[in-house]
Amino acid sequence: MTTGHVESSQSNVEVIAATSDQESVVANLFELYAHDFSEFHGVEVGEDGRFGYPQLALYWRDAGRLPFLVRVNGKLAGFVLVRRGSDLSGDPAIWDMAEFFILRGHRRRGVGSEVAHQVWKRVSGRWEIRVMESNRPGCEFWKRAIAGFTGESVRSRSFEKSGTAWCAFSFES
């Protein structure tokens, strides 16, 4: 196991379309993501010891869904799941950052922002980013990442869905 951390400016950050053969890789990374996420949201592990993600297979069957793997210096570092359709307005043309995960060893080094920027350059259009308000670090991350991409100051708007408070960002890429 490598223990050294490399700053993003010295790293080769790649966002690669995940193939159906890599679904199990994304599923494995999703378990780490769900574990981290359980700090902010009441997700529970199943009787099989896994969190699971029932919609994962849709990312290889539905044209409105895009799965990506993240590599840093050639090594697996996370995943991104993008889908069409707004959870806020119901607008089917908006891109939604459904799930976004960077392994802890690569966080706070510019990797996440670089990954987000690569995705937004690759998938142009109107975007919405939703973050649970209880995930304050996530809200701050997205605010910085979007401002860095658009070159403009960013504001979130609050909304509630199913008893959960969210902050949402909207912009165009």
CATH number reported for the structural domain that contains residue 62 in this entry: 3.40.630.30
Instruction: Taking residues 132-159, report their average pLDDT.
Output: 93
Give the chain's length. Answer: 173
pLDDT at 15 over 80: yes
In a domain, 144, yes or no: no
Instruction: Taking residues 21-47, report their average pLDDT.
Output: 78
> Taking a C-beta distance cutoff of 8 angstroms, is the pair 111, 101 a contact?
no
Q: Which two tokens stand for residue 2?
A: 């490598």
Contacts by residues 61-66 (CB-CB < 8 Å, ≥ 24 positions apart): 64/92, 65/98, 66/17, 66/123
In a domain, 165, yes or no: no
pLDDT at 162 over 90: no
In a domain, 78, yes or no: yes
Could you tell me the pTM of the whole model?
Answer: 0.86
In a domain, 166, yes or no: no
How many other β-carbons are positioned within 10 Å of the β-carbon of residue 23?
Answer: 15
In this prediction, residue 6 carries a pLDDT of 39
Task: Please name which of 8, 124, 132, 82 lies closest in space to residue 142, comparing C-alpha atoms.
Answer: 132
Identify the domain containing residue 68 by its residue range. 10-127
Q: Which is higher by pLDDT, 54 or 124?
A: 124
Instruction: Taking residues 148-159, report their average pLDDT.
Output: 93
In a domain, 148, yes or no: no
> Taking a C-beta distance cutoff of 8 angstroms, is the pair 167, 136 a contact?
no
**pLDDT tens string 84-102:** 999 888 899 999 999 999 9
Rounded to an integer, what is the distance from CA 169 to the centroid of its chain? 14
**pLDDT tens string 61-77:** 999 999 999 999 999 99
In this prediction, residue 134 carries a pLDDT of 86
Into how many domains does the chain fold?
1
In this prediction, residue 49 carries a pLDDT of 56
Beta strand 126-132 pairing with 95-102: parallel
